[in-house]
Structures are given as structure tokens and as C-alpha cells.
Amino acid sequence: MSPITTHVLDLVRGRPAAGVAVRLERGDHGGPWIEVGAAATDANGRTGDLAATPLEAGHHRLTFETGAYFRAQGIAAFHPRVVVSFDVADPAQHHHVPLLVAPFGYSTYRGS
């Protein structure tokens, strides 16, 4: 299992959001971002392995292409993408970062 996982739930439809492109990057505050992995959500709104390399401590971000997801459904959306930044203090721990999304808002948290 990837040390960083995510899933996307569509709050309008009340079900998982399939086909959302997700990119995982690592970077220093103010420095360049390095892509660690990328995937698209499956029918359950989950991604497969996001991290192609071992997880390192430091600053990370997940970018969800939510605008493309809603456009594909013919729905106008306010956010073209959602970027969730977070710090990994202990790379040995699993980090689950879910996204609850609607056309005009979103919420996220550290899951288990």
C-alpha cells in the first residue's frame, strides 16, 4: 500500500468521484515541487499507488483536478483544482487524505 492514499467523494451525487486526476508532489517551502506520483480515482473514488518512491519527511501536496471532473458531467464548478498541502513528520506512518468535493466547495482531513 502507498504511504499516502486518498479518495474523493462527490457530495452532490452522494457517491465516490471516479476519474479525478490526482498528482502527489514533494517540495521545500518556497522551493521547486517534485512529482512523486500520479493516478486517477477508480470507481470507488480511490487512487492506486500514488508514491512511486519511498515517502520522505517534509512538505507534500496533492492536486485534484476537480474542474475537469465536473466539466465531464456538464456541471459548472468554481474551483478548477483543489490543492491540499500537508507536512509529513514521520514517513513510517500511513497518511490518508480524503477530499469531499462539490461544485462550489470542498473539505479535507487526515483520515486513517
Q: Percent of the chain, pLDDT > 70?
A: 99
Q: Which run of H or E residues covers position 83?
A: strand 82-88
Per-residue model confidence (pLDDT) at position 3: 86
Q: Which amino acid, 103?
A: P
Site of grid cell 476519474: 19
The three grid cell numbers given for residue 29, joined into one nine-digit string: 517551502
Per-residue model confidence (pLDDT) at position 1: 61
Is this structure's pTM higher than 0.95?
A: no
Q: What is the average pLDDT score of the chain? A: 92
pLDDT digits (tens, 9 = 90+) for 47-80: 977 887 788 899 999 999 999 999 999 999 999 9
- Residue 86 pLDDT exceeds 70: yes
> How many CB atoms neighbour CB 86 within 10 A?
13
pLDDT digits (tens, 9 = 90+) for 10-49: 999 999 999 999 999 999 777 789 999 999 999 999 997 7
Per-residue model confidence (pLDDT) at position 10: 97
Q: CA-CA distance, 101 to 12, in Å (whole number)?
A: 8
Check if the beta carbon of residue 4 is closer than 8 Å to that of residue 95. Answer: yes
For the domain with range 4-106, which CATH number is right: 2.60.40.180, 3.40.640.10, 3.40.50.1820, 1.10.10.10? 2.60.40.180
